[in-house]
Amino acid sequence: MVPVTDTPILHVDMDAFYASVALRERPDLVDQPVVVGGGGGRGVVLAANYVARRYGVRSALPMTRVRRMCPHVVVIEPDYATFTSVSSSVMETFREVTPVVEAMSLDEAFLDVRGSTRRLGPPARIAERLRSTIHDEQGITCSVGVAASVSVAKLASRRAKPDGVIVVPPAEVTSFLHPLDVGELYGVGEKTQALLHRFGLLTVGDVAHTPLRTLQRAVGDHLGRELQHLAWGTDRSELTPRAGPHEPERSMGADETFTRDTDDREVIVRELLRLSARVAGRMRSADVAGRTVTLKVRFADFTTITRSRTLPEATDVTVEIHRAVTRLYDALGLQRARLRLVGVRVEGLVPRATVHRQLVLGESEHGWADADRAVDRATRRFGTAAVRPASLV
């Protein structure tokens, strides 16, 4: 007799992941408020431990505010190499339980345990087994939500935090979901929450009992339909196994906030070169090229605009990307506008092997591609700092 479960989806979410990993090296700090994030200037919180959360500190808060809220907070710089390696080990633990693992980010994944209950017992027991393995091997805690669908499992893991498990059987889905605020639903952020509240829709139950057409008039066809499913827990229950959060990327980009706002064209164009080189380098290591180049500009008042241009041919060449974004920047015709941030993104990525360049007679562009590849080789041997365009030295 094969045990059949009606709650096969597990959502496993590390508790305060970056902070928990950082604290493994600093056990002396576990009882103090600790955040991981960029400490200097304009950084924000990546993760806060539960002591810091008692002061109201949350992810994405500006560090300047955090220091006001909690003056004795300890700020730790993020160490992504360690985060990535802990994440890989945790994902490996997941795959010992089931091959059907859909990673959402470094610290979060869905598991389908339908095929594992005969060997390992009911989902709740599997959840506890995962939690104790991760705790023993990695020294960090996690929370698990167990349900029939992806979004109910995710909401359950959030409710289980920190360091707990919640199972929501099908018969209890509506009594679990309907009292929640609409803002808890996946896809409902600050704006949509406020919009729904203005329509008098405060809880998930309110959304569930609103006619689809009404909902769609408020939030659009797509989101309306989506919300109706989420409100009844009838969203997807099939997972797409994948190792990383975003496997074949559809776009690659880089942006950077200046330490101080600037209106100096030379500084801006140089920053665009640095960002173009970073993006193009990542594209080349991923063996992709892209046609649409987008410039992002954020002004001192935080308003943000984008300008994009689709090239005739896909490229992964630093100077071509840089030339495109510089033209877009100059076309803005900014005079004295102070910029807070600039960004470069390339979209429409395709495998580089599928790109066949139509070189115009007399064109010498391939020289730049050769130069980029020489830079890549030197970077691999000597490190990023060793090789860069002359104007960045």
Minimum distance of DNA from residue 182's CB (angstroms) = 10
Minimum distance of DNA from residue 105's CB (angstroms) = 3
- Indicate the residue among 84 and 125 with the shorter CB distance to DNA: 84
How far is 136 from 128, CA to CA, in rounded Å?
12
Closest CA to 309 of 297, 326, 334: 326
Q: What element of type H or E holds 242?
A: none
Out of 140, 343, 372, 375, the residue judged to bind DNA by CB under 7 A: 343
Number of residues forming the site for DNA (CB under 7 A): 60
Would you count residue 246 as binding DNA (CB under 7 A)?
yes
Minimum distance of DNA from residue 369's CB (angstroms) = 21
Out of 206, 249, 263, 376, the residue judged to bind DNA by CB under 7 A: 249
How far is 50 from 64, CA to CA, in rounded Å?
19
CA 251, 256, 262 angle in degrees (round to 5)? Answer: 135
Minimum distance of DNA from residue 310's CB (angstroms) = 3
Non-local (6+) Cβ contacts of 59 within 8 A are 44, 45, 46, 47, 48
Would you count residue 308 as binding DNA (CB under 7 A)?
yes
Which tokens in the block code for residue 243? 């190792």
Q: Which amino acid is at 289?
A: A
Out of 46, 147, 288, 375, the residue judged to bind DNA by CB under 7 A: 46
How far is 344 from 325, CA to CA, in rounded Å?
7
| HSE of 226, CA atoms in CB hemisphere, 13 A | 13
The mark string for 210-239 relative to DNA (x by CB under 7 A, - otherwise) is ----------xxxx----------------
- Indicate the residue among 129 and 141 with the shorter CB distance to DNA: 141
Residues of this chain, 350-389, that bind DNA according to CB under 7 A: none
Q: Decide the pairing of beta strands 74-76 and 45-48.
A: unpaired
- Indicate the residue among 129 and 270 with the shorter CB distance to DNA: 270
Q: b/e string for 122-152 if b means 16 or more Cβ within 10 A?
A: ebbebbeebbeebeeebebbbbbbbbbbbbb
Out of 257, 267, 371, 389, the residue judged to bind DNA by CB under 7 A: 257
Give the Å distances, CA to CA, from 89 to 111, 130, 136, 154, 220: 15, 12, 12, 21, 41
State yes or no: is 108 an active-site residue: yes
The mark string for 323-342 relative to DNA (x by CB under 7 A, - otherwise) is -----------------xx-
Candidate segments 36-44, 138-146, 357-365, 379-387, binder of DNA by CB under 7 A: 36-44
Out of 240, 259, 335, 358, the residue judged to bind DNA by CB under 7 A: 259
The mark string for 172-211 relative to DNA (x by CB under 7 A, - otherwise) is -------------xxxxxxxxx------------------
Non-local (6+) Cβ contacts of 74 within 8 A are 29, 32, 33, 34, 35
Residues of this chain, 268-307, that bind DNA according to CB under 7 A: 278, 282, 291-292, 301-302, 304-307
Would you count residue 155 as binding DNA (CB under 7 A)?
no
Which tokens in the block code for residue 18? 């970056």
Catalytic residue among 102, 108, 226, 271: 108
> How many residues are given for the chain?
393
- Indicate the residue among 116 and 160 with the shorter CB distance to DNA: 160
- Indicate the residue among 301 and 363 with the shorter CB distance to DNA: 301
Residues of this chain, 71-100, that bind DNA according to CB under 7 A: none
- Indicate the residue among 46 and 268 with the shorter CB distance to DNA: 46
How far is 36 from 45, CA to CA, in rounded Å?
6
Asked if omega into 122 is within 30° of 0 (cis), the reply is no
Residue 109, φ and ψ in degrees, nearest 5: -155, 155
**Catalytic amino acids?**
108
List interacting residues with DNA (CB under 7 A).
38, 41-44, 46, 59-60, 62, 64-65, 104-108, 154, 185-193, 220-223, 246, 249-257, 259-260, 278, 282, 291-292, 301-302, 304-310, 340-341, 343, 345, 348
